[in-house]
Amino acid sequence: MADPIYQRVPQLEVSESSEAPRWANASRAWARKGRRPFLLIGLLIVVALAGIAVWTPGFDAVHSSKAKTDLAEVEGGLGEEVQPVLKSCPVPPEEPWMHPASSLNFGYPTTTLRENLRDDTYYVTSFAQAGFTNQFIACLHLIYLGHLTGRVPVIPPIVPAAHISSTAGLIPFSSIFNLTLLRTALRTPVIEWHDGKHIEANASVSFPTSSSDPALDHFGCWSTRPLSANHAGYVENDENALRIDMSFTRVPKHVYFNDLHTTFYGLSSIITPGHRHAAAEEGRLAIMHPSRLGKATKPEERMSCFDMLFFVSTGVREFEFEEPWSPAWARVGKFLRFADGLEGVGLAYVRKAFGLEKEEAIPPLITVHIRRGDFGGNCKPGEKPPCFLPLSAYKDSVEDVRKEIFEKHKIEVDRVLVASNEDDPAFWKTIDSYGWKYFNHTSSRTVETYGEWHPLLLDKVALSLGVGFVGTMPSTFSVYNARRVEDWNDGVTRLLNYWSYKPPVKTT
C-alpha cells in the first residue's frame, strides 16, 4: 500500500530584498556576472533529465490505478485536511514484487495459466492432498524453494481434504495469510493461481478434467514421491479444481535425503533457471506417470511444478519443519501473518469467550491445543485405545508455562483458551472445571455463518494470540502454533508427547 507519509515539503521562497544569508546573495551576484552560459547548460540538463524520466519504463496503468486505489483504502479513511496534500504529491511507485501483475503477461486472470506466463520470468508451483496444516507446510516449502531459486512461487488454493468435506470449496491462500506482509519481508514476488488463471468460485475438486476444456493447462511436472513408490503423488483434487493435466517424472536420486525426504538444495539443483543439474537434462529423464489424459510431457523450464513439497529438508534431519530453526520457517513462515479479515473475526470470538466488550483489550492468554480423535489409535504396549495424554498433563504444563511467563515477562496470566477436536461432553466438562475457555462453534453457528473452513481457521488465529502455549506432539497444528507464539509474541511453549509422557510419581 502506498505510504501516506509522503507529503509535499513547502519550499521557502527567498527574494533578493529578504534577509537571506550572505552566501545566498553572493551566489546570486556570481550567477549574474558572466555565468549566464552555465544557466543555459543547466537548462539543457534539466530538459534531458525530464526526457529520461518520461522515457524510463515504469508501472503500467494497472499499477498506477492500484496506487490510487490503495490511497483511498487507507484504514479509517483520510481526513479532509490531509487529502488535498496527498492528492497534490507524487506518490512513489511500489516495488514490482508487491503486484502479482508484474510477474504476469496481463493484469488480470486469463483462461489458462500458461498464456499469462511471461517469457522473461520463471515460476514454480506444487500441490498437496492432506489436512490444512500439512497443505500449509507444503506451500511454505514452495515459497522457500522459489526464494532459493529465483523463481516466482505460484501458490495453489487450499483444497478440502482430510477433516474437511469435499463440498467445502477452495479457499485462497491470501484469504488466510497476509501476502502483502510476506512480499514486503521477502522483497520478491509471490503470486497465487487465481492471479494468473480464472478459477470458478464454486470450482469442484470432484469434477474431472476434459481434453475439450478450453481452460485446461498441460504441464510436465516433477514427482517427489518416495524412492520405493512407483506412482506420483495424488493431486487429482487440484487438477480438477484448477483444470490441469499433469504428467510426472521422478526427481533424480541425488535430490533425496532418504527414501521419503528430498532436500531443498537437491530440488534447487534441478530447477535453477538456465543451470539445471546434468541429472535433470531431458535426455536422461523417463516419465514416471503419464497424465490422466495420456500425455507424457517432461518437466519444462518456464514452469517447474511438483506433485508435493511436504517431505523436504535441508538435509539435517527428516521432518525438519518441527524444529524452530527450520530455514523455511525462519525465512518465510514467521512472516505469514493471518489476513486482517480472518484475524478480526478471531479476535471477536476471543472477546466473546472471555465476556469482553467489543473494543476491550484482550488480556494476556495461555492457549492450549489438545489433539484427540485419530491420535487415540497408537498405544503403548499394554494399553488399549483410545490412548491419549491425560488432561491433568495439560493442566500441569499450563502451570509450568504460567510460572515461566512470570519469570520472563513479569506478568501474571490467569486466562486460558483451549481448542480441541474432541466432542465427548465429559472432556469439556473437565475443561470447564479448570476454568478454561473455548469456542463453541455449534452454538455460535460458525459453519452456517462463515463456512466449513472457519472453525479450524478461527481456532488457529485464537491460539496464536497466546503469550504461552501448550500443544500436542506430533500434531503439525500444535507445532506451528508453538512457532507463532514463540516468534510473534516472544512466548513460552510446551509440546507434550504421549510416547514420552511419564505420570508424576505420587508421594505419601
The rounded distance, in Å, linking the Cα atoms of 423 and 259 is: 37
* Domain end call among 87, 113, 132: 87
In this prediction, residue 256 carries a pLDDT of 96
Task: Determine the length of the chain.
Answer: 508
Instruction: Please report whether residue 428 resides in a domain.
Output: yes
Instruction: Please report whether residue 508 resides in a domain.
Output: no
Instruction: Please report whether residue 343 resides in a domain.
Output: no
In this prediction, residue 507 carries a pLDDT of 60
Instruction: Please report whether residue 6 resides in a domain.
Output: no
* Domain end call among 279, 312, 335: 335
Note every long-range contact of 46-51, with CB atoms under 8 Å and residues 24 or more positions apart, other chains counting: none
**Looking at the structure, do residues 67 and 168 belong to the same domain, yes or no?**
no
Expressed as residue numbers, the domain containing 60 is 22-87
Instruction: Please report whether residue 345 resides in a domain.
Output: no
Instruction: Please report whether residue 481 resides in a domain.
Output: yes
In this prediction, residue 426 carries a pLDDT of 96
* Domain end call among 287, 311, 335: 335
In this prediction, residue 506 carries a pLDDT of 65
**Looking at the structure, do residues 238 and 359 belong to the same domain, yes or no?**
no
Amino acid at residue number 422: E
**Looking at the structure, do residues 193 and 59 belong to the same domain, yes or no?**
no
In this prediction, residue 93 carries a pLDDT of 53
C-alpha cell at 365: 492468554
**Looking at the structure, do residues 415 and 328 belong to the same domain, yes or no?**
no
Closest CA to 305 of 471, 427, 193: 193
**Looking at the structure, do residues 258 and 406 belong to the same domain, yes or no?**
no
Instruction: Please report whether residue 94 resides in a domain.
Output: no
Amino acid at residue number 456: L
Residue 83: is it exposed, middle or buried by C-beta count within 10 angstroms (0-12/13-18/19+)? middle
The rounded distance, in Å, linking the Cα atoms of 129 and 310 is: 10
**Looking at the structure, do residues 361 and 403 belong to the same domain, yes or no?**
yes
From the first residue on, what is the mean pLDDT of each consecutive set of 10 residues in the chain (508 residues)?
29 33 34 41 44 35 31 32 37 75 94 97 92 95 97 96 88 96 95 96 86 95 93 90 95 95 97 88 84 92 96 95 95 97 97 95 97 84 88 97 98 97 95 97 96 96 98 95 97 93 70
**Looking at the structure, do residues 289 and 396 belong to the same domain, yes or no?**
no
Q: Are 233 and 224 in contact (CB under 8 A)?
A: yes
In this prediction, residue 4 carries a pLDDT of 30
DSSP string, 259-304: SS-EEHHHHHHHHSTT---GGGSGGG--EEE--TTS--PPP-SSEE
Instruction: Please identify which residue in the block is written with the cell numbers 524444529.
Output: 323
